Structure 1
Amino acid sequence: MVVVMAVQAHLYPENLSLSLPMYGLQDCMSIPAPFDPDFCHPPQQMMVPPHLDPNAQNFSSSSSSMCDGFLSMALSKSLDAQLEALHLMRRKEEDLARATKKTLELEACLKKVEMESESWERLAKANEAMALDLSNAVAQVKKGIIMVSNAGEDAESLCVSSCDDKQEGKEDSSKKIACPCKHYNSRTSCVLFLPCRHLCSCMSCEAFLDSCPVCKAAKEASMKVFWV
């Protein structure tokens, strides 16, 4: 009974002034005992160890599963990031390989163009040299033609002058000879050709002529003429 009253006095201090005079316990409650929190719990809960408590085990398992989930999620994200980085790296390597191949192709094309340009340049120089040689040859030919033309003109003028001199000599001789021989043109004609009756030959030439020197008619007969 005393224990029950002490518990009630501890739990309900406001009733202490009412209960103490009734039971004469002022001397017993002069020094209150310290409050023990475990005193309010049932004896069964106070006696169960923490590792055997079902609620503690459930909390521990849920905490472990949450940690495992976080770790799995973090690992998955890290793996995805690594895979994406690897994919980007491979794509960059492929782009670099294509760029390198394109650069090599462009360098080969540029080298080919340079070689063709050098070839065309050499061909152009050869054509220029050939054109210069042809121009020089044409100039020499023109010069030779001009020289030949001048020589021809000189020869023609010489021939004309010679012919003129001969013609003048013939005219002079014809003036001297009244009727010169048409064949030899130096003696006097004294033979008459028949039937054309041209007086056109001297005695020396008549024996060698078968036709008239003037009309080219056939000589059938001849007659000597005496000048008086």
Structure 2
Amino acid sequence: MFFNSNNNNNNPRKRGREMAAVATTAPMNSFSLQTQPPQFIELSQLQRPNVVSTGLRLSFGDQQHLHQNQNQSYEHQHQNLVSSSTAFLSIISDELATQIKRQREELDQFLQAQGEALRRTLAEKRHRHFRALLGAAEESVARRLRDKEAEVEKAKRRNAELEARVAQLNVEAQVWQAKARAQEATAASLQAQLQQAIMSGGAAASMHDSRRGEEGVKCGEGQAVDAESAYVDPDRVVASWGPACKACRKRLASVVLLPCRHLCLCTECDRVAQACPLCLTARNSSVEAFLS
């Protein structure tokens, strides 16, 4: 009698099932997750009923019945393994879905934060650019305003200078008008003095001529002619009427000296005279009088 009490399995169907079970459990153990995967038992480790051989040939029906029972037990174990593998895969898929969802949420939050930071950065840069543009525009406008204000101040100063010049010219015009009126009054006074001098000079000349005539009649009898009376000066101009020049006493006095207003010089002596020969007053100007 032979008893097969060891765990050796010479059935090729059993060997194929064991290899399928090992191939099924191999990829499941490759996942390293936090949850502890269920432990699997290899088919080779399962206790199988010992086959006892009595040396007697059993009927074919009994052997077939025994093989069917063994196949059913193996199929039941295989179904248990498949169900446990399905549960484990569902757990793994749930964990993976949770991880993917969390990673997606974190990625969305990161992208949102980066987008918000980029938006703030762009807004700040745009704001700085606008402020720089406004500063440049304000500086340009301020510079132009300063230039215009400088031009206005310059125009105001020029206007004030022109107004002051106009006022000065008005004052000078008034002064010249006053001087002209004074000169007119002086000229009128000089004209009156000239007329008076002419009249007095004519009377004196006539009296002098009559006196000389009387003296000539008296001296004509037997007296010799004086040498001075006999000499005739070619430059001597005897005034037929009017006053004679008080400097050369040769020509007619026709220049009035100012400010003393004396009619005492001729035109030739007026060029060199520095003072009035009558009152010795320093002269500053002269006026020529045309006697008619």
Q: Give the TM-score normalised by the residue count of structure 2.
A: 0.42
The equivalences for 1:15-54 within 5 A come to: 43-44=80-81, 46-47=83-84, 48-49=86-87, 53-54=91-92
Higher relative helix content: 1
Residue 229 of structure 2 corresponds to which residue in structure 1?
213
Residue 199 of structure 2 corresponds to which residue in structure 1?
161
| Distance in 2 (alpha carbons) for counterparts of 1:85 and 1:133 | 70
SS class of match (2:231): coil
SS class of match (1:142): helix
| Distance in 2 (alpha carbons) for counterparts of 1:45 and 1:113 | 101
Please say if residues 179 and 188 of structure 1, whose CA atoms lie closer than 8 Å, have aligned partners that are also in contact.
yes
Matched, 1:61 2:99: yes
Q: How many residues align structurally?
A: 154
| Distance in 1 (alpha carbons) for counterparts of 2:135 and 2:222 | 119
| Distance in 2 (alpha carbons) for counterparts of 1:74 and 1:191 | 157
Deviation at 1:85, TM superposition (A): 0.5
Matched, 1:139 2:177: yes
The equivalences for 1:1-228 within 5 A come to: 43-44=80-81, 46-47=83-84, 48-49=86-87, 53-170=91-208, 172=210, 177=214, 179-180=216-217, 188-190=219-221, 192-193=223-224, 198=225, 211-215=227-231
Q: Which runs of 5+ in 2 are unaligned?
A: 1-78, 234-292
- Write the deviation string for residues 81-100 of structure 1: whole angstroms up to 9, x where unpaired: 11100111122222333344
Deviation at 1:129, TM superposition (A): 1.7
SS class of match (1:165): helix
| Distance in 1 (alpha carbons) for counterparts of 2:94 and 2:216 | 176
1:158–1:80 CA distance, 2 compared to 1 (3 A): same
Please say if residues 178 and 188 of structure 1, whose CA atoms lie closer than 8 Å, have aligned partners that are also in contact.
yes
Q: Kindly report the root-mean-square deviation, in angstroms, between the aligned alpha carbons of the 2 structures.
A: 3.4
Please say if residues 50 and 56 of structure 1, whose CA atoms lie closer than 8 Å, have aligned partners that are also in contact.
no
| Distance in 2 (alpha carbons) for counterparts of 1:43 and 1:127 | 125
Amino acid at match of 1:82: R
- Work out the percentage of aligned pairs sharing the same amino acid: 5
| Distance in 2 (alpha carbons) for counterparts of 1:164 and 1:72 | 133
Amino acid at match of 1:53: I
| Distance in 2 (alpha carbons) for counterparts of 1:112 and 1:46 | 99
- Structure 1 residues 141-150 or 55-64, which shifts more? 55-64
Q: Give the TM-score normalised by the residue count of structure 1.
A: 0.52
SS class of match (2:229): coil
1:154–1:214 CA distance, 2 compared to 1 (3 A): farther
SS class of match (1:213): helix
- Write the deviation string for residues 140-179 of structure 1: whole angstroms up to 9, x where unpaired: 222222222222222222222223223443455566x383
SS class of match (2:216): coil
Deviation at 1:134, TM superposition (A): 0.5
| Distance in 2 (alpha carbons) for counterparts of 1:51 and 1:119 | 99
1:128–1:144 CA distance, 2 compared to 1 (3 A): same
1:50–1:101 CA distance, 2 compared to 1 (3 A): farther
- Structure 1 residues 96-105 or 159-168, which shifts more? 96-105
| Distance in 2 (alpha carbons) for counterparts of 1:99 and 1:80 | 28
